[in-house]
Structure 1
Amino acid sequence: MARGADELSTTSYALLGMLAIRSWTTYELAKHMDRSLGRLWPRARSNLFNEPKRLVARGLATATEELVGRRPRTVYTITPAGRRALRRWLGTPGEGPVMEFEQGLKVFFADQGSKQTALAAVRSIRAWAERRNAENVAVARSYLAGQGPFPERAAVLTLMGRFMVDFVDMVAAWADWAATVIEGWPDDLRLAEPEWSVWEETARRELREPADQGAAISRSG
């Protein structure tokens, strides 16, 4: 008897979503992690080889053994129960973004180190943004050339693609600003003067509901 969708994690649902698109081997899933699921839910990578088996045990996916030449492989396919569980999860609110940012932690504690290490952390963040931007450009060009792996999903991929592009641009712009600020600090970072204009600008912001902000963006666009 399958235990169904009780106590499934977000990682479970993320992999169910991938299985809803098509059947995969774990090797194939791993190949698509960096350009798709891994950007939004990197925890899925660490559970990639165990999570499909959990879905099978709950009756939400099936596992089929195949031979490719002499090499065996396991192909995972979503079941009707898995699709129902995925649809139920899609209808729930979910949690907002959670930052997991090791380079940012190094900036947060920069006053415990040196000016050089602070600048190195910010430059590392800038380099990350450049790499991500190159990946975003490559994905966009592949879809425009009709070579994207999932053209039938282009509409929804455009939504999160725009989010990732805007996010990377924001990180790059912040890193440029932060490097300029740190370069003006003394060698002893504990003696650095705050950028009070940042606090003042933030304090002057009008408090608005997220929906109002979205409407303002739509009007300005």
Structure 2
Amino acid sequence: MATNRILVIEDDPMSLELLDVLLTQEGFAVTGCGSGEDALAAITQHHDIHFVLTDLQIPGLRGPALAAALRKATPAALRIFAMSATAPEHRLPGFDAFLLKPLSMERFLSLVHGSGSHRAAVPQESHLLDENIYRRMANAMPPAQLQATYTFALDDAIARIEAMRVAFAANDNSTFRRQAHSIKGGCAMVGAVELASIASIFERNGITGKQVGTDLDEFHLAADRLRRMLETRF
């Protein structure tokens, strides 16, 4: 590689911190930011950025418009990768590849080094926790940081489930689905497979009927199941 600096654009702090840890372990110097506008400012300040990894659901400038603006803002030859917990329905002009969350570092590195197709990676499934993601995180950070990362992820998911209850009571379908999307993305990053799967269903269906309230109880119980399992490891 001509350079190992990468610009990571992710508005979820936990996901950004995790990507920083994993990419640093792979030899990258990481510059992180939370919006497209911040990314444009960063790329004009750091002239050694040749790789960009951006979530598709960031605030403000995003998607193909962001990719075009980033390429225009720097003379460097950029390779820009998109990521999301949901596969896009249409092609993404301006991007070199799309990666499905949870991010497979092997898949990403194969794209960086020029091997592999532009097909989205498919996460390995298990009932509660993707063990491959857990092992990678455990190898990348000390036990206390690993525990704090999972605690933060589960606390955030539970807080968002409660926000979904409020949205359901107010018949606020937009907020309901937005919270579900955030849970899906955050949980996918740490390999919380069951929670990410349930969140995906809520995001897709939205507020569909009276049974949603009961289903949210099951959602909360799924978080408790994962927390109890993780407590045996820390």
Same topology, TM > 0.5: no
More helix by share: 1
Could you tell me the TM-score, scaled by structure 2's length?
A: 0.28
Larger radius of gyration: 1
| Structure having greater relative contact order (Cα 8 Å, sep ≥ 6) | 1
Could you tell me the TM-score, scaled by structure 1's length?
A: 0.29
More strand by share: 2
